[in-house]
């Protein structure tokens, strides 16, 4: 024990096979790559070296989710051509693989990279090509979730849903709605969700992060979400939490990000432990490796340190993270067959 907290073996948690289901492409760049891309493209960066840029990009002073989201303008400034998109996508898979991630679902709103003339289809092609390179190099399965953004017009969300449908089966596994939650209800984007639903595409939705359980209710009932991104404030609605648990709807937990955006006042106050004890299906996720300054291994370690998850508990979450993926079931089944003995071995290691 250190300072009253259990000592955590991070190398053991790194070895634990994990699936990461909630990770934003534009929030997960390497600082050194941002500087290299910026230099090649004559784009200004707010800090001149990788260490200072990493510190600048890690959000430690956000008052709310909107403050947190403001950092994304910096990453997007170097994500406006196919070579840059492919590079950051490949590197994310490499970094995740080194972190013990064996299945990675990366999300992004491609229209954000059309500021200098790329089409959304060109963004998709570069994004998927980069992830395929990473997958070939590491064996970590990487799939894409196309995002729409709450504060954008519904016509833009419909365009993103149509893009997701067009690329379904070629690496895209789901559609998501992200962005500032307060004042931008998911129900306003129902027409976009309907496009995805009619094409049998899986759906997740950021909800219950910056707005209360009513947002989760909309995501589930109006938008047809199969998973919930964050879901932190589900804790405020016992009936809805029971519904989520009974229906086995997976909740994509992002501990560090929730502390940063003040969705929860502190790690130890996060409801993830309560959710787990109730039997809710959970995954742990970084949300944004750059803005949160974390790896997935570190998220698992913080769950142990602050919320008293045992290694056995974390092994349950690791298994649930694979089971909850949107990657087609046959692929998931094959991955589960491969990783379950490894998860058991990490659990039983002394
Ligand atoms: Zn997110």
pLDDT digits (tens, 9 = 90+) for 254-302: 999 999 888 888 999 999 999 999 999 999 999 999 999 999 999 999 9
pLDDT, the chain, mean: 94
Question: If you measure from the C-alpha of residue 136 to the centroid of ligand 1, how many angstroms do you get, rounded to a whole number?
Answer: 26
Whether residue 2 is contained in a domain is answered as no
Whether residue 128 is contained in a domain is answered as yes
Query: Does the active-site annotation cover 299?
Result: no
Those residues whose C-beta lies under 8 Å from the C-beta of residue 10, and which sit 6 or more positions away, are 297, 298, 301
Confidence of residue 5 (pLDDT cuts 50, 70, 90): low
| pLDDT score recorded for residue 23 | 98
* Full residue range of the structural domain in which residue 112 is found: 10-348
Whether residue 233 is contained in a domain is answered as yes
Task: Check: CB of residue 9 under 8 Å from CB of residue 305.
Answer: no
Burial code (b: 16+ CB inside 10 Å, e: under 16) for 115-133 equals eeebebebbbbbbbbbbbb
CATH number of the domain to which 283 belongs: 3.20.20.140
| pLDDT score recorded for residue 62 | 75
Look at the block and give the residue holding tokens 């994509």. Answer: 252
List pLDDT tens digits, range 154-201.
999 999 999 999 999 999 999 999 987 677 888 889 999 999 999 999
| pLDDT greater than 60 at residue 2 | no
Question: If you measure from the C-alpha of residue 205 to the centroid of ligand 1, how many angstroms do you get, rounded to a whole number?
Answer: 9
List pLDDT tens digits, range 196-233.
999 999 999 999 887 889 899 999 999 999 999 999 99
Look at the block and give the residue holding tokens 């260490």. Answer: 51
Whether residue 4 is contained in a domain is answered as no
List pLDDT tens digits, range 78-128.
999 999 999 999 999 999 999 999 999 999 999 999 999 999 999 999 999
Whether residue 20 is contained in a domain is answered as yes
Alpha-carbon span 11 to 23, nearest angstrom: 21
| pLDDT greater than 50 at residue 328 | yes
List pLDDT tens digits, range 119-143.
999 999 999 999 999 999 999 999 9
Q: Which residues have CB less than 5 Å away from ligand 1 (the ion)?
A: 287
Report in angstroms the alpha-carbon separations of 310 from 153, 266, 284.
Answer: 44, 19, 14
Whether residue 169 is contained in a domain is answered as yes
**Global model pTM greater than 0.85:** yes
Provide the number of structural domains found in the chain: 1
Strand 141-149 with 227-230, pairing: unpaired
Alpha-carbon span 55 to 162, nearest angstrom: 37
| pLDDT score recorded for residue 3 | 52
Whether residue 3 is contained in a domain is answered as no
Confidence of residue 1 (pLDDT cuts 50, 70, 90): very low
| pLDDT score recorded for residue 7 | 79
Report in angstroms the alpha-carbon separations of 63 from 233, 258, 262.
Answer: 17, 12, 7
Q: Average pLDDT in the 226-247 region?
A: 96
Whether residue 5 is contained in a domain is answered as no
Ramachandran quadrant class, 117 (left: phi over 0; alpha: psi -120 to 50; beta: rest)? left
Question: If you measure from the C-alpha of residue 43 to the centroid of ligand 1, how many angstroms do you get, rounded to a whole number?
Answer: 26
> Among 58, 135, 209, 218, which one carries the catalytic annotation?
209
């Amino acid at each position: 024990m250190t300072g009253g907290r259990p000592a955590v073996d991070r190398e053991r948690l790194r070895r634990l096979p994990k699936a990461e289901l909630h990770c934003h492409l534009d929030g997960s760049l390497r600082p050194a790559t941002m500087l290299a891309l910026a230099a090649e493209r004559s784009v200004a960066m707010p800090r001149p070296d990788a260490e200072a840029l990493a510190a600048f990009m890690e959000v430690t002073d956000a008052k709310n989710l909107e403050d947190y989201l403001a950092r994304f303008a910096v990453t997007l400034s170097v994500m406006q051509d196919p070579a840059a998109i492919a590079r950051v996508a490949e590197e994310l898979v490499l970094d995740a693989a080194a972190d013990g991630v064996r299945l990675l679902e990366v999300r992004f709103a491609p229209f954000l990279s059309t500021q200098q003339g790329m089409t959304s289809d060109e963004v998709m092609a570069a994004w998927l090509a980069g992830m395929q390179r990473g997958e070939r190099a590491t064996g970590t399965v990487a799939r894409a979730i196309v995002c729409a953004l709450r504060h954008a017009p519904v016509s833009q969300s419909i365009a993103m849903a149509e893009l997701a449908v067009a690329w379904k089966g070629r690496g895209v596994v789901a559609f998501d709605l992200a962005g500032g939650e307060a004042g931008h209800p998911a129900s306003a984007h129902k027409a976009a969700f309907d496009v995805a639903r009619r094409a049998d595409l899986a759906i997740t939705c950021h909800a219950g992060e910056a707005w209360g359980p009513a947002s989760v209710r909309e995501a589930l009932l109006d938008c047809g979400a199969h998973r919930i991104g964050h879901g932190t404030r589900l804790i405020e609605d016992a009936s809805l939490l029971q519904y989520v648990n009974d229906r086995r709807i997976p909740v994509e937990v992002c501990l560090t990000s929730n502390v940063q955006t003040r969705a929860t006042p502190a790690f130890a106050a996060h409801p993830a432990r309560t959710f787990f004890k109730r039997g809710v299906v959970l995954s742990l996720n970084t949300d944004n490796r750059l803005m949160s300054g974390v790896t997935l291994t570190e998220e698992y370690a913080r769950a142990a340190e602050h919320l008293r998850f045992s290694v056995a508990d974390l092994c349950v979450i690791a298994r649930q993270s694979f089971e909850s993926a949107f990657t087609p079931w046959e692929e998931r089944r094959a991955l589960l067959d491969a990783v379950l003995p490894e998860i058991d071995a990490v659990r039983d290691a002394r």
